[in-house]
Structure 1
Amino acid sequence: MGSYLAQDSDLSRQLASTVGNRNTGVLAAAATGLCTFIKEHGGDADRILGMSGINPEDLQHPTQSLGLANYCQVFEEAAHQSRCDNFGLYYGHQFQPQALGLLGYIGLCSPTVEQALINVARAFPYHQQNSLICLVDEGECYRFDYQVRHRAILSKRQDAELSLGIINNLIRHVLGSQWAPRAVHFEHPRPESWHEHCRLFNAPVYFEQPCNSLIIPKLNLGRRMPASDPTLLIVMQDAIRQLNTQEKTLPNIVDDTIVQVRNQLLSGEPVMEVVAEKMGLSSCSLQRRLRDQGVSFTVIVDKTRCELATHYLLQHHLPISELAPLLGYSEASAFSRAFRRWFGISPRQWRQHREPVEKRSLAH
């Protein structure tokens, strides 16, 4: 095993950096090569990372924990800034298993392809928090399910497409580049350039499904992994568990408040006393705890409305005239004034500005 580690300096650094770290989001290995990929697609990596709240230095450490909301946002922002609507799809398609750090090596060191899928599914909660991943036996096929369940994340299409692409590549690493799943499922609506998904997965792709899933035929899954190493597998599994052995942190008061604010928006203007009661707190206690986090209830309501507004505007089937009630505004004019304060343009102009992203991606 010593010679194996000596030949792989990246792996050695990952093992060394594991000590003392704790993962509360997603390991930075999941963003390997991201800055280069953004630049190759015409985007400004520093600007995109800054807008998403990610420190570029954190990407140099594979076991550094990134906020999951920030991670999902950086890919959504990259898709927009680079004018490449399928950014996550392309990023996942080129992502090799060893680049995934500890989780990738858990798959590569497994005895067979089938066991690699099982081991990756079992270890995934240590790699990424607030997410579902499971391998379901459906007879002739396995269904590999993936779903982000972070309560504060709305836009996660890019993450879903890159994540299924990474799992797809783990299988192709052994069974060849022409291997294809039986089918691919995505939660989000069908994008305009959906034919690219069918081409890259080489399989039927279905949208607006209950979960993001790969339907994987069992045929040939007994094939041996070329880098199978039972001793190194145990080392990798122990290393990724160490990132989660410390005492759990307290619930995120900001995320919990955002969830309650969203729930109240459908009934009108959110009231702090009602939100606090839903969270089992007094309004004074909630106000104090938010202040300790450097934020106020009013700012959270405004930011939540802003994020929801852009999310709804990207759903082109929703008429702009119907958005005000969804955001807790009693009048459309109040929504329009708030939107101009956020972005300096009207909701209609914002939607028109975003539409070219999908159209231009067809020529990418």
Structure 2
Amino acid sequence: MTQLAQTPLGTDRFSTTVLASVLHGFDAFIRGRGGNPHDVFGQAGLSVPNQCAPSDMVFLDSYCQALDYAAHTTRTTHFGLWFGHQFAPSRLGLLGYLALSAPTLGDALNNLASFFSVHQDNSHVSTHIRRGVCVLEYSVEAPNLSNHRHDSELSLAVFCNLIKAAMGPTWAPTEVHFRHEAAEQDRQDHGQAFGCPVHFNRAANALYFPAALLSTPMPNADSILFCTAKSSLLNIQAEKTARTPTRNILETARQVIIHLLPQGYPSITAVAEELGCPPWTLQRRLADQNASHRQLVEETRQQQAVHYLQSGRFSVAQTAFMLGYAESSSFTRAFTRWHGRAPSSLLPGGAQD
């Protein structure tokens, strides 16, 4: 057994991943709302969707940050809610096809719950019945997740669309609950999206609807597709379990570095604390990958500098700040050393700062 397997990362926001299929249509939706997808993905440290295979994994925290950035840049306060409202369940990939091809709505939701952890780490979907009412709950077991609001609203909207696949487009749940708080003015949008009363600051993120609906046949039930999707998910589940102890420490640490850079140069102690391990353990794991902390910070700064400058939304001074430099002159010297030219040359039109 490798050293990495003996001391796995803790359950935190940077060890929680989701299948890249969630990015499908994300760029188009941002663009449709007047935003710049490359800017949003660059700020969150994500690859653009057309560079990801649906089976690739992305960090859930990065995805949540992208949703937050998208909300800000498009001035869409409830970006996650409306993105989920138009998100077809089939775009979840195998998990979506499994649910849509199930015999009944109850089978669809049970399988969604059983295999959701394959789609998204450290996350839980469950259904239970209380006095004739079915409660579909969603939670993420990553307490340090930076901003879970957009993800929660998006997820419940997608689950609602899955039920609508059986009940018809005008169907609405009895009520919807969210764990996060909301201002009074938020309620109108949520009521419009779900078509029912929406309550905030509750014990769980949940959809409520009559349990009798669970016996409703799924209109696209397909036993062959259902068995094929389930078999494929079981294989992915086995592969994912096998490789979890050897999660790519370089990518995980790089995401933490991106998150910490605006606060200044991220020390190995600060990065290790975010990852839930001692500094010497992180140092050893990086060495196992022929890397060092200083090298990883340098490479991350180089990559993010290009992202920020080419987006056209950040000046040299702003980019220097986001990369942890106290002065833009220090960043300019570093950038010139990396690329042999001034950072202003990457600004649209070669504009000067």
Q: What's the Cα RMSD here?
A: 3.6
What is the match of residue 159 of structure 1? 151
- In structure 2, C-alpha distance between the alignment counterparts of 1:131 and 1:168, rounded to whole Å: 18
With over 3 angstroms needed to count, the CA separation of the structure-2 counterparts of 1:250 and 1:43, relative to structure 1, is same
Cα deviation code 1:304-338 (max 9, x no counterpart): xxxxxxxxxxxxxxxxxxxxxxxxxxxxxxxxxx9
Question: Aligned AA for 1:250?
Answer: P
What is the match of residue 341 of structure 2? none
Question: Aligned AA for 1:25?
Answer: T
Q: Cα distance, 1:196 vs. partner? A: 0.8
Question: Aligned AA for 1:96?
Answer: A
Q: 1:31 aligns with which of 16, 23, 31?
A: 23
Q: 1:72 aligns with which of 64, 68, 73?
A: 64
Q: How many residues align?
A: 271
With over 3 angstroms needed to count, the CA separation of the structure-2 counterparts of 1:251 and 1:189, relative to structure 1, is farther
Q: Cα distance, 1:216 vs. partner? A: 2.1
With over 3 angstroms needed to count, the CA separation of the structure-2 counterparts of 1:236 and 1:197, relative to structure 1, is same
Question: Aligned AA for 1:71?
Answer: Y
With over 3 angstroms needed to count, the CA separation of the structure-2 counterparts of 1:271 and 1:107, relative to structure 1, is closer
What is the match of residue 212 of structure 2? 219
Superposed, which structure 2 residues align to 1:298-309 within 5 Å?
none
With over 3 angstroms needed to count, the CA separation of the structure-2 counterparts of 1:248 and 1:152, relative to structure 1, is farther
Q: Cα distance, 1:167 vs. partner? A: 0.5
What is the match of residue 168 of structure 2? 176
Cα deviation code 1:126-170 (max 9, x no counterpart): 111111211122231111111122354120111110100000001
Q: 1:50 aligns with which of 35, 42, 56?
A: 42
Q: Cα distance, 1:24 vs. partner? A: 7.2
Q: Cα distance, 1:36 vs. partner? A: 0.5
Determine if contact 1:69/1:150 at 8 Å carries over to the other structure.
no
What is the match of residue 224 of structure 2? 231
Superposed, which structure 2 residues align to 1:222-301 within 5 Å?
222-246=215-239, 247-250=242-245, 284-289=280-285, 295=293
Helix, strand or coil for the counterpart of 1:106?
Answer: helix
Question: Aligned AA for 2:245?
Answer: L
- In structure 1, C-alpha distance between the alignment counterparts of 2:238 and 2:133, rounded to whole Å: 34
What is the match of residue 202 of structure 1? 195
Unaligned stretches of 5+ in structure 1?
Answer: 1-22, 260-269, 300-337, 345-364
- In structure 1, C-alpha distance between the alignment counterparts of 2:55 and 2:124, rounded to whole Å: 20
With over 3 angstroms needed to count, the CA separation of the structure-2 counterparts of 1:286 and 1:26, relative to structure 1, is closer
With over 3 angstroms needed to count, the CA separation of the structure-2 counterparts of 1:141 and 1:163, relative to structure 1, is same
Cα deviation code 1:236-282 (max 9, x no counterpart): 011122223221333777979x99xxxxxxxxxx9959x88x9685x
Determine if contact 1:137/1:143 at 8 Å carries over to the other structure.
yes
Determine if contact 1:58/1:64 at 8 Å carries over to the other structure.
no
Q: 2:178 aligns with which of 171, 174, 186?
A: 186
- In structure 1, C-alpha distance between the alignment counterparts of 2:325 and 2:164, rounded to whole Å: 45
TM-score, normalisation: structure 1: 0.65
What is the match of residue 78 of structure 2? 86
With over 3 angstroms needed to count, the CA separation of the structure-2 counterparts of 1:285 and 1:162, relative to structure 1, is closer
Helix, strand or coil for the counterpart of 2:109?
Answer: helix
Determine if contact 2:176/2:199 at 8 Å carries over to the other structure.
yes
Indicate the percent of aligned positions where both proteins have the same amino acid. Answer: 33
Q: Cα distance, 1:29 vs. partner? A: 1.7
What is the match of residue 96 of structure 1? 88
Segments of 4+ moved more than 3 angstroms: 57-60, 251-256, 270-273, 278-281, 283-296, 341-344
- In structure 1, C-alpha distance between the alignment counterparts of 2:285 and 2:203, rounded to whole Å: 36
Q: Cα distance, 1:97 vs. partner? A: 1.6
Cα deviation code 1:156-200 (max 9, x no counterpart): 111110100000001112212221112111111114322110111
Cα deviation code 1:201-233 (max 9, x no counterpart): 111111112221111212333221111012211
Unaligned stretches of 5+ in structure 2?
Answer: 1-14, 257-266, 298-320, 328-353
What is the match of residue 133 of structure 2? 141
- In structure 1, C-alpha distance between the alignment counterparts of 2:199 and 2:105, rounded to whole Å: 25
